Structure 1
Amino acid sequence: MAEEVILAKGSSFMEPFKGALVTYLIPESCYDEFFLNFNFLDVPCLKILLSKGLGIGIILGSVMVKLPQILKMMNAKSGEGLSFQSVLLELLAITGTMAYSITNKFPFSSWGEALFLMLQTVTIGFLIQHYAGRSGRGFLFVILYFALLGLVLSPITPMSVVTTLQASNMPAIIVGRLFQAATNFRNGHTGQLSAISVFLLFAGSLARIFTSLQETGDTLMAATYVISSACNGIVALQVLYYWNASAERKKKKKRKKRE
C-alpha cells in the first residue's frame, strides 16, 4: 500500500512536465516506463533519451558554433586563411541535409543545427568577400543563395533532386574540407580560422552519427556525418599542428606595428 502511494505521488509530481517530455524528449511509452513503472534502466528508452538530448544539445550549441569564427574575422577585419570555395561546398552539404530532412519530415532534433549553421556559414562567406574588397560580390552571393534555397525547398523540386543533393554531401564535404586543409598547408598557418568553431563542429558531427541512426534510421544521413567527422578531424588536427606557428605569427605582427 505504501509503495502504491509513493508511485502515485511520483506520477502526479511529473504530470505537469509530461507534455514537454513527450513532445521533445521521449515517447509516451517511455514516459510510462520511467515515471509510472520507475524502470530507469530500460535500454531502448535510454537510447531515445540520449539521442534526443544530444540532438537538442547540438542544436543549441549550433546557434553559437561559428560565432567565434565570425567575431574573429570582424575583429581582425580580415578573412585571411579561409577558403571561399570551402564555404560554398559546406553550404551545399548543409543545404542538402536541410532539404532532405524537411522533405522526409525527419524530427527537427535530428537536423535542426543545419538551419543555424547555414545562416552563420552564409555570413562567413559574405565576410570573406567583404574583407577582400568585394562587397558587391558578397551581397550577390547572399541573394543567389537564398533564391536557390527557396527553389530547392519549394514543391516544384522533385524528390529525386533532393535525394541527389543529399547524396552529393559526401564529395562536397570531402572536397570542401580538403580546400581548407590545402589553404592551411599552403599558408603554413590557419589564419583567421577559429579553433573553437573547428573543434565544436568536429564534436557535433561525431555526436550526429549516433542521433541520425537512432532518430531517422537513414544510412545516407549517418554516412554523411561519418565522412563529415573524418574531414573535420583533419582540419582540427591542422589547428593543433599550426598552433605555435599562428602564435609566432601574431608576435611578429605586433613587433612590426611597434616598429
Structure 2
Amino acid sequence: MDALRTALQPITHNLPGPVRDLGVSLIGESCYKALVLDIDHENTECVKLAVSKALGIGIVGASSIVKVPQIIKLVKSQSASGVSFLSYLLETSSLLISLAYNVRNRFPFSTFGETALILGQNVIITVLVLNYSGKASVAALFVAALAAGVFTLFNESILDATTMGYLQAGAGVLGVASKVPQIAAIWSQGGTGQLSAFAVFNYLAGSLSRIFTTLQEVDDKLILYGFIAGFSLNLVLAAQMVYYWNAPSAKVKGKQKEAPIKAAPAATTTGASTPKGKGPTTRRRG
C-alpha cells in the first residue's frame, strides 16, 4: 500500500485546478485531503461519503434515460396497455413535491437530482398514456394542473416550511401508493404489456442506492422512510416482471381467443325436385 501511495501521490498532488475544485465540492476539503492527497483508504467515514457521492452521481446520470425505453415502447406500439395512468399520476405528484422540498431545503443535488429528470419523463409518459387512451383533453388539463403545482410548491410566500414538511410526508405516501395501481394492473391483465423492464429494474437499483445515500448525506427520516417503502414495492414490480416475462400481451391474447369463423358450405343442386304435395309438413291421409 505504501508503494502504491508513493506512486500515486505525485499525480494526485498535481491534478488540474478544475478537477481539484470538483473533488472538494463533492466530498469536502478534509475528505479530499484524506482520500486524494494522502490516499488514506482506512478513513471509513470519508470512504462511505465518496461511495455515496459516486452512487448519487450514477443515479442522476442513469435517471436521465431510465424511462426513455418506456416512452419508446408507448410511441412504437401506439398503445398504453399494461401502463397505469393512476400510477403515473400519483408518482408524478410525489416527485414534484419531493423536488420542491429538496430544493427549498438546499440538500446536495447528488441526493435528489434524479427527481427532476424522472419527473420530466413521467410527464411525457402520462400525456402519451392519456392520448393513446383517447383522453387528449384530460392530458391538457393534467399539464395545466402540473404548471399550477410548480408555481405553488416553489413559492415560499404561498407555502411555508412547516406546510412543505407535511406535504413531503404525504409525498412519501403517494410515492408508495403509486406502485399499487401498477402492481394491480399487471396482476389483473396477467402480463406486463407495454411496461418497460429497463425502467422497472433501474428503479429497483436506484431506490436501494438512495437508501444508502440518504443515510450518509441527508438527516431526514421522511425521505429515508419513503425510499425504504418505495424499494419494497419496486421489488414486487421486479418480481412480477420476472414472473410474467414470457407472458403474451393482452393484444396477442385477444388474437389467440379469436376463432376463425368458417362459412357454411352452400347447398348443391342435384336436379331432383320435391314432389308436389309431399313437402315436410304434408300429412299422408289414410
Q: TM-score under structure 1 normalisation?
A: 0.90
> What is the Cα-based RMSD across aligned positions, in Å?
2.4
**1:216 corresponds to:** 218
Where in structure 2 are the equivalents of 1:1-259 lying within 5 Å?
A: 9-16=10-17, 17-23=19-25, 25-156=26-157, 157-246=159-248, 250=252
Determine if contact 1:129/1:138 at 8 Å carries over to the other structure. Answer: yes
- State the AA in 2 paired with 1:167: A
> What stretches of structure 1 of length at least 5 have no aligned partner?
none
8 Å CA contact 1:69, 1:194 repeated in 2: yes
- The letter for the 2-side match of 1:45 is C
Q: Is the 1:10–1:35 contact (alpha carbons within 8 Å) kept by the matching residues of 2?
A: no
Aligned residues: percent identity?
35
Name which of structure 1's ranges 84-93 and 65-74 shifts more when overlaid on structure 2. Answer: 84-93
CA 7–170 in structure 1, closer or farther in 2 if over 3 Å, else same: closer
In 1, Cα distance between equivalents of 2:152 and 2:166 = 15
Question: SS of 1:48's equivalent?
Answer: helix
Preserved contact between residue 176 and residue 226 of structure 2 (Cα < 8 Å): no
Does the 8 Å CA contact 2:191/2:249 hold for their aligned counterparts? no
Cα drift, residue 171 of structure 1: 2.3
- Structure (1/2) with the larger helix percentage: 1
Cα 1:158–1:7 change in 2 (3 A) is same
Q: Report how far residue 237 of structure 1 moved.
A: 0.9
Larger radius of gyration: 2
- Alpha carbons of structure 1 residues 251 and 89: separation in structure 2 relative to 1, 3 Å: closer
**Cα gap change, 1:158 to 1:181, in 2 (>3 Å):** same
Q: Structure 2 regions of 5+ residues with no counterpart?
A: 1-5, 259-286
The normalised TM-score by structure 2 is 0.82
Contact 2:35-2:47 at 8 Å conserved across structures: no
TM-aligned CA deviation for residue 96 of structure 1? 2.2
Size of the aligned set, in residue pairs, is 254
